[in-house]
Structure 1
Amino acid sequence: MDDWLKDSDEVGPSWLTVDLAIFTLRDDQLMVLLVERGLDPFRGMPAMPGGYVQKKENLRDGALRELAEEAGIDGSQLHLEQLGTYADPGRDPRGRVVTVAYLALGPDLPIPTGGTDAARAFWAPAARLGDGTLTLAFDHQTILTEALEEVRRKIEYTAAATAFCGDTFTLTDLRTVYQVIWGQELDPSNFRRKILNTTGFVQPTGDQRLPPTGRPAALYRRGQAWLLNPPVLRATTSGQRG
């Protein structure tokens, strides 16, 4: 290390953490997983689940461990990917803490159970992230707001919407995912046409779901494609794109 770095007052210790932006659909609402902090700083405030990465674990393993410890949820079956790195010098009052945020998506995830330094864990409507009724610890409001927009964008261009469904699903189930996440009503016929015309997005199972009333609905599973061509685009104020 250069001498000027060793002697500089601007250089201090830094720590690495992981935080998880976890979304699911429960009762036709998009929900985000939060924990109530049991320790200072920000004791009693809601925050994303997460914590320090241990010396001998990689980032993904650290994220899965923290999810299990703080919320009692097994993340191994979730769609899990890195969202971004957040390193603002003032984001944590304890010192220079750099966090790698993960985005996780899953279908109708269970009620969480708080553990370790989380006093409790709970699902909150994602709509509260933007309505001014939810104040989060650290910079987690910023991270989760960016994560929510990433989810909205991601289901346009990838098959990520299927991560909110079970192994098999109807096109109505899939349309509900899009409607809830985008906050838009979608025409059933147009949606069906777009989904079935997007190569590799879904594939029929050959089975049907028998509803209590009405006609049986065909069941599908996710196809081989991840990137969607053509994409399934959101409506704009001037009408439907694409």
Structure 2
Amino acid sequence: MDEAAFLENYDPAAYERPSVAVDLILMSVVDGAPAVLLTRRDQHPFVGQRALPGGFVGIGESLDEAAHRILAAKARMSDAYIEQLYTFGAVDRDPRTRIISVAYFALLPADRFAAALKSAPELALAELTVPWRGETGGPIEARIGDGDPLHLAFDHGEMLSLAVRRLRGKLDYSGIAFALLPERFTLRALQDIYEAILDTKFNKPAFRRRMLDRGWLEATGERETGASFRPAELYRYRQAEGEQ
């Protein structure tokens, strides 16, 4: 039998096929704390609970296509850069049936969240509390306002924990933190981002010297406006060659 004949007679029902979903981890730093965009589930399972924006992959679309479709439909964003984080495939991760989820990760400036929240009332901004330092990992607490810690649907708490570990692991050798800043920013704002992600306070002169010595920053010659004190100099990120 040649390949054409094999494919013509192939029975796709011969093997069980799990469903595939995509979940979006959209993170920022808001008011000095890590934050994530959550939606409220309107159907079982976990009806009424908070979850990451997500959905099933269509039979005729790629994972990336599904991720961008869900980004536009559920997070009201059309041009965010997202990348695959990890595939979650525990057999019992979803009580409905065998569902594998591919988590996508994005870091965004805080103003992008403000626009999404305004256009989608089902979305909420949850502040993340990370009670561990370094990259070892552990549980993460998510709260909306002054509320109690949320019980997130499915294994979305695990997804958030992995996203923070990945972010912390890449912070020291890549320019990933600059995705959380506007195009022009102060060194003070950059230090605020690092301190929020790592839950650590840095010596101001030492931090600034380290950032400048890395060659990542380019002075714009401009200064911030609207400051009640001496306006700080504005910088932009000098993207490394070959970096996406």
Deviation at 1:110, TM superposition (A): 2.8
Report whether the alignment pairs 1:28 with 2:32.
yes
| Match in the other structure for 1:159 | 175
The 4+ residue runs of structure 1 with deviation greater than 4 A are none
Does the 8 Å CA contact 1:14/1:97 hold for their aligned counterparts? yes
Structure 1: stretches of 5+ with no match in the other structure: 229-242
Question: Normalising to structure 2: TM-score of the pair?
Answer: 0.80
Report whether the alignment pairs 1:222 with 2:226.
no
| Match in the other structure for 2:113 | 110
Deviation at 1:105, TM superposition (A): 0.5
Alignment of 1:134-145 (within 5 A): 134-145=150-161
Report whether the alignment pairs 1:68 with 2:40.
no
Equivalent residue for 1:191, pick from 201, 207, 217: 207
Structure 2: stretches of 5+ with no match in the other structure: 1-5, 131-138, 143-148
| Match in the other structure for 1:233 | none
Deviation at 1:211, TM superposition (A): 4.6
Report whether the alignment pairs 1:130 with 2:140.
yes
Report whether the alignment pairs 1:15 with 2:23.
no
Q: Hey, what's the Cα distance between the residues in 2 that align with 1:114 and 1:140?
A: 24
Does the 8 Å CA contact 1:202/1:220 hold for their aligned counterparts? yes
Q: Which amino acid aligns with 2:128?
A: A
Cα RMSD (Å) of the superposition?
2.7
Q: Hey, what's the Cα distance between the residues in 1 that align with 2:182 and 2:47?
A: 36
Does the 8 Å CA contact 1:203/1:222 hold for their aligned counterparts? yes
Does the 8 Å CA contact 2:128/2:141 hold for their aligned counterparts? no
Q: Which amino acid aligns with 2:33?
A: Q
Q: 1:136-195 CA distances to partner (integer Å, 9 max, x unpaired)?
A: 111111111111121122222210110000011111111010011111111110011000
Q: Give the aligned length.
A: 218
Does the 8 Å CA contact 1:38/1:119 hold for their aligned counterparts? no
Partner-residue secondary structure (3-state), 1:92: coil
Distance 1:122 1:226, change over 3 A: farther
Does the 8 Å CA contact 2:39/2:124 hold for their aligned counterparts? yes
Q: Hey, what's the Cα distance between the residues in 1 that align with 2:241 and 2:187?
A: 17
Does the 8 Å CA contact 1:20/1:63 hold for their aligned counterparts? yes
Distance 1:131 1:55, change over 3 A: closer
**Going by fraction, where is strand more abundant, 1 or 2?**
1
Distance 1:6 1:214, change over 3 A: closer
Question: Normalising to structure 1: TM-score of the pair?
Answer: 0.81
Distance 1:213 1:119, change over 3 A: closer
Deviation at 1:65, TM superposition (A): 1.5
Q: 1:71-96 CA distances to partner (integer Å, 9 max, x unpaired)?
A: 3233x1x3421101111111112211
Alignment of 1:44-123 (within 5 A): 44-74=48-78, 76=79, 78-108=80-110, 109-111=112-114, 112-113=116-117, 120-123=122-125
Deviation at 1:135, TM superposition (A): 1.2
Distance 1:210 1:106, change over 3 A: same
| Match in the other structure for 1:213 | 228
